[in-house]
Structure 1
Amino acid sequence: MHPSNTDPKLDIIFVPARTDTPIGSIVLLHGWGANHDDLGELVPYFNLPEYQFLFPNGLFDHEYSDDGKMWYSFTGAGQLTDLSRTQLATSREVLSEWIQSLPESTGIPLDRTWIAGFSQGGAMTLEIGLDLPVAGLIVMSGYLHPDRPKPQSVAPPVAIVHGTQDDVVPISAAHTSRDKLTAWGVEVQYQEFQMGHSIVPEVLDVIRTFVTK
């Protein structure tokens, strides 16, 4: 699908590298009810000056926030409805096609492109990234969709970071994601910290190491 005038379009914040020759791209996907400005504020703290950053906005307006966006809706119990699944399919298709077009628009190949996401953005990172030939995937306080099929080809390595005190996405979701990905043969780097549903400086250190190793 190629978005037309009636199709959803991605609103992107692009932050160029602080060097003349960037060596990689990092795509960051925000969580449910946030927007692309939310993670964009973290760029200086990643301390990755040779990398360019791209922050797409969720395709759908959040139900309970004037400024919030989402990749798909939840019910109160966090389950997917028919509408949720339709929205998820749309986000999956639009994000996947956009990421595959990045080498042409940025000059950075996919094998030097990382996809990262927080919370629902972490779920979308796994949803699309496991089937793309990117350098790696980073899941912060996220989860694997229960009906997400096994990748058809060799998946990129995955870093999972989660808080043991997370009361939004429980630590058990991280354990489930780790174990299922490992069973699929995916290379998984897993770390948990004494934190809630948040991003602490130690998480940024993990990301920096994962990208630059």
Structure 2
Amino acid sequence: MQFITFPPSTSQPPVGLIVTLHGWGANAEDVASLLPFFRLPEYQFIFPNAPYPYPYSAIGRAWYDLRTENMFEGLAESRQQLIDWLQSLEGSTGVPLSRTILSGFSQGGAMTLDVGLMLPLAGLVVMSGYLHPDVETTAKSTLPPTLIMHGTKDEVVPLQAAIKARDTIKSLGVATEYHEFDMGHEISPQMLEVLRNFVVNAIG
């Protein structure tokens, strides 16, 4: 899997690892541009590119197809690739999954919930995301704490999708933090501030 990585700016070994998944039609560079706003200099960041080309742009990527006629095509393959890749990161970074935060925006947020609920991660962060209809979970004791954030004026992924995701994972026993923001389908500085607090509480 192709990715961009940024080591801690402190020149020390990373306190933890933050992986952020882009949305449908975006790419790793898009989310990597947000790095200064995370304000987590002790952490290593990794921004992977989704495996599939985006049908409407030469530079966009997709985790799976969202066009009606091919809805969710490629999801199973992306899921397995992402799981295998995340499990390999400790070998290259020295950071275990127990100190890794998986985060994502929109389709990347959906992948975060899908894959993150199957791995012993430190936490999940879902920004303007949703829950796949066939999401699987493991034993309740291993489910990582999850932060869900969504814009009340989101015209792409309705707010109801965030509420449904929150209620579903809460029912599984997941420690869930939920925030709504007065905005559309976007990542705001306020979102990243909440994310920062969540990461510090989850890892230190």
Paired position in structure 1 for 2:138: 151
Deviations 1:96-132 (A, max 9, x none): 0110111111001111100000000000001101010
In 2, the alpha carbon distance for the partners of 1:143 and 1:40 equals 22
Paired position in structure 1 for 2:87: 100
Paired position in structure 1 for 2:122: 135
Trace 1:43-62 onto structure 2 (pairs within 5 A).
Answer: 43-62=35-54
In 1, the alpha carbon distance for the partners of 2:100 and 2:134 equals 26
Aligned pair 1:75/2:62, yes or no?
Answer: no
Paired positions, count = 199
In 2, the alpha carbon distance for the partners of 1:58 and 1:163 equals 24
TM-superposed deviation, 1:152 = 3.4
In 2, the alpha carbon distance for the partners of 1:106 and 1:69 equals 25
In 2, the alpha carbon distance for the partners of 1:209 and 1:105 equals 26
Q: In angstroms, what is the RMSD of aligned CA positions?
A: 1.2
In 1, the alpha carbon distance for the partners of 2:70 and 2:152 equals 25
Q: State TM-score, norm by structure 2.
A: 0.94
Aligned pair 1:33/2:25, yes or no?
Answer: yes
Aligned pair 1:202/2:190, yes or no?
Answer: yes
In 1, the alpha carbon distance for the partners of 2:119 and 2:143 equals 7
In the alignment, which of 57, 66, 77 is matched to residue 65 of structure 1?
Answer: 57
* Greater mean deviation of Cα atoms: 62-71 or 144-153: 144-153
Contact persistence 2:114–2:136 (CA under 8 A): no
Mind listing any 5+ residue stretches in structure 2 that lack a counterpart?
A: none
TM-superposed deviation, 1:80 = 5.7
Is the partner of 1:197 in helix, strand or coil?
Answer: coil
Paired position in structure 2 for 1:5: none
Aligned pair 1:112/2:99, yes or no?
Answer: yes
In the alignment, which of 90, 98, 122 is matched to residue 77 of structure 2?
Answer: 90
In structure 2, what residue type is equivalent to 1:71? W
Mind listing any 5+ residue stretches in structure 1 that lack a counterpart?
A: 1-9
Q: State TM-score, norm by structure 1.
A: 0.91
Paired position in structure 1 for 2:149: 161
In 2, the alpha carbon distance for the partners of 1:144 and 1:179 equals 11
In 2, the alpha carbon distance for the partners of 1:13 and 1:99 equals 14
Paired position in structure 1 for 2:7: 16
Give % identity.
52
In 1, the alpha carbon distance for the partners of 2:113 and 2:138 equals 10
Divergent runs of 4+, >2 A: 149-154
In 2, the alpha carbon distance for the partners of 1:179 and 1:131 equals 18
